[in-house]
Amino acid sequence: MVCSWYVRQQIGGLRVLQRDLADRNRRDTLQLLRIQNDLNSAALAMRDMLDADEPYPLTAWSSQFQRIHDDLEDALRREDQLATASRTPEQRAYLATSLGQFWDAVDRMFELAKSGKSNEARDQIRVSLQARQAALSTAVSRLLVQNNEAEQQTAARVEQIYAGVQRQVYIFLAAAFVTILLTGAYLIVANRSLFAQIEDLSTQRSELAQRLISAQESTLRHISRELHDEFGQILTAIGVMLTRAGKEMPEGSSARAEIREVAKVAQSGLQSVRSLSQALHPVTLEEAGLESTLDWYIPTVERQTGLIVSFEKSGIPFPIKPAAGINVYRVLQEALNNVTRHSGAERAWVRLRYSPDEIELEVEDAGKGTAQNGKRQGLGIVAMRERAELLGGKFEILRPERGAGTLVRLTVPREAAEADEG
């Protein structure tokens, strides 16, 4: 903005300089040349008047001098309006006074010629008129030289203004370039620092998520074992005791029948506790692996929810370490829970694919869909994404090729999922 204002000011001053000085001085020079040309015409006429071989009387030149006089008066009037500020009042007055005296002498010369005093008239030309004409031509030449010097000074000032504007523009451009460089360097340093902080926060968040998930799995494992060991043993003992007590009762008695009913309830409770324990933390995951756990879990979901689940496996299996297997299992668990609770579908497809570089789990349903533009927010979705990130994998919620429903896909690199041999 400052540079633009400066350039406008300088260009405005340059425009005024060209209008008030250069153009005006040029027009003034044209009028001075016009005056000088008229004076030269008068000098030529006087030379012809002094020529002894000239057949015409002196009065024959009267009309020519009148035309020169009229043109000089008009040129002098115009020149006086265009005279530059450097012209002094004395210079203006001298030119006008000298011309007036010259024409007074011309009038006296023609008066003598009309009176028949031709020789005296010629003497007047030689003594007075030619000298006055020469002085006037000299004065006009000086004014022309002065105008030429003024034009040179104006051109120098114009060149100085152009050079100043160019220099200032270069300075402003250099300053702007330096400012941009400094600002860019500052932004680069600031962005690097910010990105480093973000990366550090992301690392801390991943570590915290891993700790939370590990703590959650540890808690679920503990609860699962407590249910299986403590409550399972208690319910088993109650069942055994009820069975013994029933045998002590008379056959066919109502008390014996009631004890048997209570024993069945205890056995059913034991089965429920074992199923809940297995759902909280499947022991088969550590003992038999991921595939066996899914073979057990999927029929359990079908029995509990009535959902028809098709389980497909492909590729050459490789052993999955428990730390990775539990995360894959939790993603499947959450995905099937979403299908049961939100999709309204009666059927789902689970696909487990092994490839040389990765393992892929897909859960697809044909319901109303649980995704909005592929990004459904919720604690379950967030947890699945966190587990995928912990494994260095990729989690996606897509629209199936068949159109309706939702497709959940988890991809885990083989090096993060495969268990060490031995």
Q: What's the mean pLDDT in 90-109?
A: 86
Nearest to 388 by CA among 335, 338, 336, 327: 327
Kindly state whether residue 376 falls inside one of the protein's structural domains.
yes
Q: Give the pLDDT of residue 393.
A: 92
Q: Give the pLDDT of residue 6.
A: 60
Last residue of a domain, one of 162, 178, 194: 178
Assign residue 84 the CATH number of its domain: 1.20.120
Last residue of a domain, one of 152, 178, 204: 178
Q: Give the pLDDT of residue 211.
A: 74
Kindly state whether residue 201 falls inside one of the protein's structural domains.
no
Kindly state whether residue 290 falls inside one of the protein's structural domains.
yes
- 288 and 152 inside one domain: no
Q: Which has more confidence, 137 or 235?
A: 137
Residue 17: pLDDT band with limits 50, 70, 90: low
Q: Give the pLDDT of residue 373.
A: 43
Domains of the chain: total: 2
- 174 and 287 inside one domain: no
Residues of the domain holding 9: 2-178
**141 within 8 A of 37, measured Cβ to Cβ:** no
Nearest to 414 by CA among 321, 344, 336, 279: 321
- 290 and 174 inside one domain: no
Write 395-403 long-range contacts (CB < 8 A, 24+): 395/331, 397/370, 397/371, 398/371, 398/374, 399/369, 399/371, 399/374, 400/364, 400/366, 402/366
Kindly state whether residue 106 falls inside one of the protein's structural domains.
yes
Whether 309 shows a pLDDT value over 90: the answer reads: yes
- 149 and 292 inside one domain: no
Kindly state whether residue 318 falls inside one of the protein's structural domains.
yes
Residue 395: pLDDT band with limits 50, 70, 90: very high
Kindly state whether residue 372 falls inside one of the protein's structural domains.
yes
**113 within 8 A of 59, measured Cβ to Cβ:** yes
Q: Give the pLDDT of residue 12.
A: 61
Kindly state whether residue 259 falls inside one of the protein's structural domains.
no
- 44 and 170 inside one domain: yes
Assign residue 376 the CATH number of its domain: 3.30.565.10
Last residue of a domain, one of 178, 203, 228: 178
To 10 degrees, the CA torsion angle through 241, 247, 251, 254?
Answer: -10
Mean pLDDT across the chain: 81
Q: What's the mean pLDDT in 240-249?
A: 75
- 149 and 295 inside one domain: no
Kindly state whether residue 342 falls inside one of the protein's structural domains.
yes
